């Protein structure tokens, strides 16, 4: 009880300190009209910065360099004031040098590469079209929206004569996140290590905020901030038999049959939910057990998941293949490990005629605390931006993977979010067809990053050292959280 009292007392002091360090007197206006901002963003989507993951399609890096030139033309003040470094030919790093070198920098991370499109599945131009107050195009959510919104916000801040922050800020734009970031953010992180840079916090892409009734019956907006990510394990299973291959004389057991039995065992024996996972993932505390079990999105947050994703066998109807292969994907929850998942699957299969070939793996990420100053300022900014709505800000788990995997040793404080309210169809459009953002939501995203940057720190050349409304409160302390122990 005494520890809990002092812990709550510490949180109250932290909130007071944050409120004292910010004020509502700073008023930074955007320097472009609504129409200019919309059409500039549409133009950014016209560059086909596609990351292909198959060898049959060659990546057109000229498009990436054209996007660099586009940014240089659209944001002249940034390119004059900030230091730009090109990392590994195509990734970009902008350094906004602060006046206090003793403070650890803030990293605003994103990526500008996109996944391929099947144009026949799109109703609108996948490379940028404005229709019915929406901006359509690949990357409008994932992830040019953060690149452009952060650039527009900083260009506006600079134009309003806030030219030097106290704390250094880096904009880190990777060019191959959709391929794992090995040549992009991994190299940016290496650059930081070589220069002995240790960050105060990293803000990167995450899940869009869940709109009202995204989970049926829950009417508040859920602003989930990813404080950790699932890991993954991808592998190929192959069965082989030595038998006559003509279909007129079939064997008692075929390669396809053997593999099918193994896949049936895997699919019919899902991983069990992790006990007390809601203490790590506070989003789950908003719902009862029945709601979680009945909702695929929520249920996937409780356990390691299994997906049978590809299968290959045979070449002709009358020839029995001697080999059959299938690919399986697991998203590994914090509390399980790669070795545990691998061992459990092999025990389930229990057949020496089947081999497993690992093709990709990543352990679950470390968990970042939601009680740091950086998280609390982010939380305040969300309340400030979405103050007209009922919104729940909760630390949660990201089920996908981001480039933050390359920064685990750069900072303990990594927060993943997308300051856009999305419904189910918005989620489906990411990596799907007709990806879009409304013009209003895009402009709100620019305002969000403007507020976040100003809220995070004062500016050395400004008499207004404060920004957040002092009436905003941090009131989501959860006594059942793992972080309160």
**Known catalytic residue: 339?**
no
Q: Is there a binding annotation on residue 204?
A: yes
Taking the CA atoms of 289, 290, 293 and 294 in sequence, report the sign of the dihedral they define.
negative
Whole-angstrom distance, CA of residue 142 vs CA of residue 454: 25
Q: Is the distance from CB of 173 to CB of 370 less than 8 angstroms? A: no
Residue 230: partners with Cβ closer than 8 Å, 6 or more residues away: 304, 331, 332, 333, 334, 364, 397, 398, 399, 400, 401
Cα 344 to Cα 55, 236, 283, 337, 339, distances in angstroms: 33, 15, 28, 11, 8
Could you tell me which of 153, 223, 166 has the C-alpha nearest to residue 380? Answer: 223
Out of 177, 205, 229, 435, pick the active-site residue. Answer: 177
Taking the CA atoms of 68, 73, 77 and 79 in sequence, report the sign of the dihedral they define.
positive
Out of 113, 229, 403, 441, pick the active-site residue. Answer: 113
Q: Kindly state the tokens that stand for 138.
A: 């690949």
Q: Is there a binding annotation on residue 29?
A: no
Could you write out the DSSP letters of every residue in 269-326? SPPPPPTTGGGT-GGGGGS-HHHHHH-HHHHGGGS-EEEEEEEEE-SSTTB--SEEEE
**Known catalytic residue: 441?**
no
At residue 398, the 3 state secondary structure works out as strand
b/e 104-129 (16+ beta carbons within 10 angstroms → b)? bbbbbbbbbbbbbbeeeebebbbbbb
Whole-angstrom distance, CA of residue 108 vs CA of residue 227: 15
At residue 349, the 3 state secondary structure works out as helix
Q: Is there a binding annotation on residue 111?
A: yes
Whole-angstrom distance, CA of residue 91 vs CA of residue 68: 9
Could you write out the DSSP letters of every residue in 181-216? STTTHHHHHHHHHHTT---SEEEEEEEEEEPTTSST
Taking the CA atoms of 28, 31, 34 and 37 in sequence, report the sign of the dihedral they define.
negative
Q: Kindly state the tokens that stand for 134.
A: 């929406």
Q: Are strands 391-398 and 221-229 parallel, antiparallel or unpaired?
A: parallel
Could you write out the DSSP letters of every residue in 68-104? HHHHHHH-HHHHHHSEEEEETTTEEEEEE--S-TTSP
Residue ranges of the annotated binding site are: 111, 142, 178, 204, 431
Residues with catalytic function: 113, 177
Residue ranges of the annotated binding site for Zn(2+) are: 111, 142, 178, 204, 431
């Amino acid at each position: 009880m005494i520890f809990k009292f002092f812990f709550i007392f510490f949180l109250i002091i932290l909130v007071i300190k944050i409120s004292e360090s910010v004020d509502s007197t700073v008023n930074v206006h955007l320097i472009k009209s609504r129409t200019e901002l919309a059409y500039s963003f549409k133009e950014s989507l016209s560059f086909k910065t596609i990351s292909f993951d198959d060898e049959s399609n060659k990546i057109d890096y000229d498009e990436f360099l054209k996007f660099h030139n586009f940014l240089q033309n659209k944001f002249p003040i940034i390119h004059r004031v900030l230091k730009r470094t090109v990392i590994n030919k195509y990734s970009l790093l902008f350094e906004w040098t602060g006046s206090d070198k003793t403070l650890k920098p803030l990293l605003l991370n994103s990526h500008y590469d996109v996944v391929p499109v099947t144009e026949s599945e799109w109703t609108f131009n996948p490379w940028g079209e404005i229709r019915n107050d929406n901006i359509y195009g690949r990357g409008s959510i994932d992830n040019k929206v953060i690149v452009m919104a952060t650039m527009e916000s900083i260009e506006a801040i600079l134009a309003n004569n806030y030219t030097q922050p106290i704390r250094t800020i880096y904009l880190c734009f990777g060019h191959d996140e959709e391929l794992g970031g090995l040549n992009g953010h991994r190299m940016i992180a290496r650059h930081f290590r070589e220069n002995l840079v240790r960050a105060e916090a990293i803000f990167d892409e995450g899940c869009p905020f869940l709109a009202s009734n995204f989970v049926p019956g829950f009417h508040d907006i859920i602003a989930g901030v990813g404080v950790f990510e699932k890991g993954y394990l991808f592998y190929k299973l192959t069965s082989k038999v030595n038998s006559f291959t003509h279909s007129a004389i079939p064997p008692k057991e075929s390669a396809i049959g053997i593999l099918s039995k193994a896949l049936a065992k895997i699919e019919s024996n899902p991983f069990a939910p992790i006990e007390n996972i809601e203490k790590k993932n506070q989003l789950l505390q908003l719902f009862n057990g029945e709601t979680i079990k009945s909702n695929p999105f929520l249920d996937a947050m409780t356990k390691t998941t299994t997906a049978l994703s590809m299968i290959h066998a045979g070449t002709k109807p009358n020839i029995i293949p001697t080999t059959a292969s299938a690919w399986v994907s697991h998203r590994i929850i914090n509390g399980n490990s790669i070795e545990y998942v691998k061992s459990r699957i092999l025990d389930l299969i229990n057949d020496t005629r089947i081999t497993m070939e690992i093709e990709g793996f990543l352990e679950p990420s470390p968990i970042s605390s939601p009680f740091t100053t950086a998280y609390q300022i982010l939380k305040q900014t969300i309340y400030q931006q979405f103050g007209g709505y009922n919104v729940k800000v909760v630390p949660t788990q990201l089920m996908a993977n981001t480039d933050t995997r390359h920064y685990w040793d750069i900072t303990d404080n990594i927060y993943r979010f997308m300051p856009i309210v999305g419904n189910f169809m918005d989620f489906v459009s990411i990596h799907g067809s007709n990806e879009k953002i409304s013009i209003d939501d895009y402009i709100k995203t620019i305002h969000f990053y403007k507020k976040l940057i100003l809220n995070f720190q004062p500016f050395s050349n400004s008499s207004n050292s404060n920004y957040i409304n002092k009436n905003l409160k941090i009131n989501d302390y959860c006594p059942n959280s793992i972080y309160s122990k």
